[in-house]
Structure 1
Amino acid sequence: MMVLSSDPSPLRRGTRLAFSAAVAMALLACSSEAHDVPFPAGDVLDATSDDTDVPAVDVDARSGVDGDASDSPGPACDPLSGNVAWSVLSVCREPGELLAVGGSSWHDVWVVGAGGVILHFDGCEWAAVPSGTTEDLWWVHAFGGGHAVVSGAAGTLLRVQLGGPAVAVETGTTSILFGVWGAAPEDLWTVGFDPKGGGAIVLRVRGGEVDSLPVPVPDGAAVAAPFKVAGSGPSDVWIGGRDDLVLHYDGETLTPTPTGAGLDGDWVTVAMSGGRPVLVGGASNARIAERSADGASWRVHSPELVPALQGVCVAPDGSAWATGVAASILRRVSPGDWAFDNDAPLDLFSPFEPPVPGCSQPTPDYHACWFDDHANLYVVGGNFLTLREGALLFRGAPGMPLLP
């Protein structure tokens, strides 16, 4: 049996925080370079600690049953039922890190990642979807009906329809488009920048027209660097980025709406919660910004001993989760109060233990998360330093099929 230890101790969280400092510069740069890392045959998980007697997680049961993955029952097309638990659907996966997950329902889940990877789950099974590119794909937004838009490196913006070829949208830029969101299939926003230098990119795509919007540079920053975009409708769009870059579009004007975090506020991802934005990020330490109920101010906090965050998602019931460097997974306990989910697998880290065989770091960095319409949670990531070693976790009833 292969096992992973699960220890919620403050010491471990502190070690995780120290480890995250080593990758903080990579988070800030968001480099799109990847390096060859061999992928081993056979077992890919073996990180048991001998100096702890806390409960262990059986990774052989990652599909929800005991024994080898080949013994797993066939997937059901109807939503799964049973007790909610974590499953590891993939780890140390090549060709690269899985960078984003999104969808419209249980029957329409999309995962994208490094090397042009696109995967789709139809409620029955996972399948690879041709992207027509080898560029790293950083974000996905789904509209239902097997239709999604994907953004990525080298100015990549794709319209993907199941059963047909991915169609590239001419964006007029070679910068990395880190985020994409749409109020409708014919009303898209995509944002990004060039980590090696260059101006910010904020594009609005309506029909066949692509409009570039000017982006103000935050106070004290050298350049504007937007990471992600999300909204509740065509007249309520939010953009987050480096150095406390926060922009709001009200249907007419794109207005700076900083949180007050200053240069310590690197907002990597934004999601909508009850019609209000939630931003997560940070450098060596996590930062979370939540818009007040009256929409007039921000609540900014930095959870203790939490490394930089990269993803945030909101469940149908309004509960929110955040993911980040060094296998960090947090849930919102109450407004302004976030805590580690200590039941999540793969969160072991110790500098004195070898990494998972075949992986060059002990734990994945979790870049994004998403909830489907049945409150199942999907978490994607990998090795953010190299954009390799993809991972996918699932929190829901047992029986979810593994990635191909």
Structure 2
Amino acid sequence: MVNKLFHTILSRIFGGAIGMPSMAVVLTTIITIPACTDLSQDPAIGREPVEFPGPNEYYNAIWGSSVNNIFVVGSNGTILHNDGVEWIQMETGIDITLTDVWGSASDNVYAIGSTGTTLHYDGKGWKPLQIPATQNLTAIWGSAADNLFVARSGASILHFDGTEWQSMAHPELEQINDIWGPSKDNVFAVSSDGVILHYDGSEWTSIASDFPPLYTIWGLSGESVYAVGSGGTMLHYNGTEWAKIDSKTKDGLYGIWGNSDNNIYAVGVNGTIMRYQGNVWREQPYVTRWNLTDIWGARNRIIVVGGYGTIQEFETGS
């Protein structure tokens, strides 16, 4: 998940201020997604995105608890929801750029953005949430409702234990761009400094460094973790050490997801989609030339999001 850069990532521009709740009517269907396509058949996805009848916003992140409960966040306070049938625009009452989204359940979802903006969804609607932050918020992840991490611009991390928010001590960095972990006491964070942090349930420490700027971290388990970033940078952690991987691209990578060690996708600048099937990474045909900022999947379904209203859905193949 790009989860979540500001000036570091191209085209991520914050602006606006908190507005009064909008009286706009929620659209019944705002986005038409093309029929699912198997990415293993390369020529099949070489088409231009459709013209969406909904807002052509810059979408920054996607998260879902299931294929029937998916959220996308982006510029101008935009939050979209998919119930497995259609996409609707949800009322947020703000026009601030939202950068990341995460939830522990379908009725406990958080969206974060610039100037400390934090929204909470209880299954009925989005409401503003006050947290100790006025800076831009860059990443959110948790292992449970009572173990939530939020990164603030300026490389600081907040932790929520279900009752209160507290600042966490960690090595000084320029900016933390993403957080992910396989468990509550095994959490990773990546930064614009090219540093990887690790949290063992007690403290954050630096475990790897001297890489180009890193934008996203994600994994299948504690023994298979990936970090991606500037210039096609890709790293893999096997539970013991980090190793560089040839991603076969020089384009910046903003998102990564897979459903097995032999079926992983990475997305990034100018519509780049790379796929790994157990041997080497291979570039997939473009579906858009807009930046792809994030990717989410479940079973054989993946969805990529990005610039100018880009939301594309595919089947992963095998």
TM range (shorter): 0.7 to 0.9
Q: How far apart are 1:188 and its partner, in Å?
A: 0.9
Give the letter aligned to residue 177 of structure 1.
L
Give the 3-state SS of the residue equivalent to 2:9 in structure 1: helix
- How far apart in 2 are the matches of 1:25 and 1:192? 13
Deviation per residue, 1:287-315 (Å, 9 max, x gap): 011102xx111111353443111111122
1:206 aligns with 2:161: yes
Q: 1:101 maps to what in 2?
A: 62
Give the 3-state SS of the residue equivalent to 1:239 in structure 2: strand
Q: How far apart are 1:95 and its partner, in Å?
A: 5.2
Q: How does 1:5-84 map to 2 (within 5 A)?
A: 27=9, 30-33=12-15, 63-64=34-35
Q: 1:141 maps to what in 2?
A: 102
- How far apart in 1 are the matches of 2:132 and 2:241? 36
- How far apart in 1 are the matches of 2:232 and 2:301? 24
Q: 2:3 maps to what in 1?
A: none
- How far apart in 2 are the matches of 1:338 and 1:118? 32
1:366 aligns with 2:288: no
Deviation per residue, 1:60-89 (Å, 9 max, x gap): x9633xxxxxxxxxxxxxxx8x96765846
- How far apart in 1 are the matches of 2:38 and 2:306? 25
Among 141, 152, 161, which residue is 1:192 paired with? 152
Q: Aligned residues: percent identity?
A: 24
Q: 2:312 maps to what in 1?
A: 393
Give the 3-state SS of the residue equivalent to 1:315 in structure 2: strand
Preserved CA contact (<8 Å) 1:224 1:245 = no
Among 360, 377, 399, which residue is 2:302 paired with? 377
Q: How far apart are 1:255 and its partner, in Å?
A: 1.3
Instruction: Give unmatched runs, 5+ long, in structure 1.
Output: 1-23, 35-60, 65-79, 194-198, 218-222, 347-362, 383-388, 398-404
Among 233, 236, 248, which residue is 1:290 paired with? 236
Give the letter aligned to residue 392 of structure 1.
I
Q: 1:228 maps to what in 2?
A: 178
User: Which protein has greater RCO, CA pairs closer than 8 Å, 6+ apart?
Assistant: 1
- How far apart in 1 are the matches of 2:266 and 2:76? 25
Deviation per residue, 1:308-346 (Å, 9 max, x gap): 1111112267622111011101112337x322112x422
TM-score (norm 2): 0.82
Deviation per residue, 1:108-162 (Å, 9 max, x gap): 1111111111111111221112223211111111333343111111112221123
- How far apart in 2 are the matches of 1:305 and 1:236? 30
Give the 3-state SS of the residue equivalent to 2:233 in structure 1: strand
Preserved CA contact (<8 Å) 1:243 1:265 = yes
Give the letter aligned to residue 174 of structure 2.
A
Count of residue pairs the alignment pairs up: 289
Q: 1:244 maps to what in 2?
A: 194
Structure 1: 4+ residue segments shifted above 4 A: 82-93
Q: 2:218 maps to what in 1?
A: 271
- How far apart in 2 are the matches of 1:202 and 1:178? 10
Q: How does 1:163-178 map to 2 (within 5 A)?
A: 163-164=124-125, 166-178=126-138
Q: 2:123 maps to what in 1?
A: 162
Among 247, 250, 255, which residue is 1:311 paired with? 255
- How far apart in 1 are the matches of 2:201 and 2:264? 26
Give the letter aligned to residue 115 of structure 2.
A
Question: Structure 1 residues 91 and 279 mapped into 2: Cα distance closer, same or farther (>3 Å)?
Answer: farther
Question: Structure 1 residues 26 and 270 mapped into 2: Cα distance closer, same or farther (>3 Å)?
Answer: closer
Among 262, 270, 287, which residue is 1:326 paired with? 270
Q: How far apart are 1:235 and its partner, in Å?
A: 0.9
Question: Structure 1 residues 151 and 328 mapped into 2: Cα distance closer, same or farther (>3 Å)?
Answer: same
Q: 1:281 maps to what in 2?
A: 229
Give the 3-state SS of the residue equivalent to 1:154 in structure 2: helix
Deviation per residue, 1:214-246 (Å, 9 max, x gap): 2313xxxxx431001111121111111111121
Question: Structure 1 residues 62 and 118 mapped into 2: Cα distance closer, same or farther (>3 Å)?
Answer: closer
Q: How does 1:90-129 map to 2 (within 5 A)?
A: 94=55, 96-129=57-90
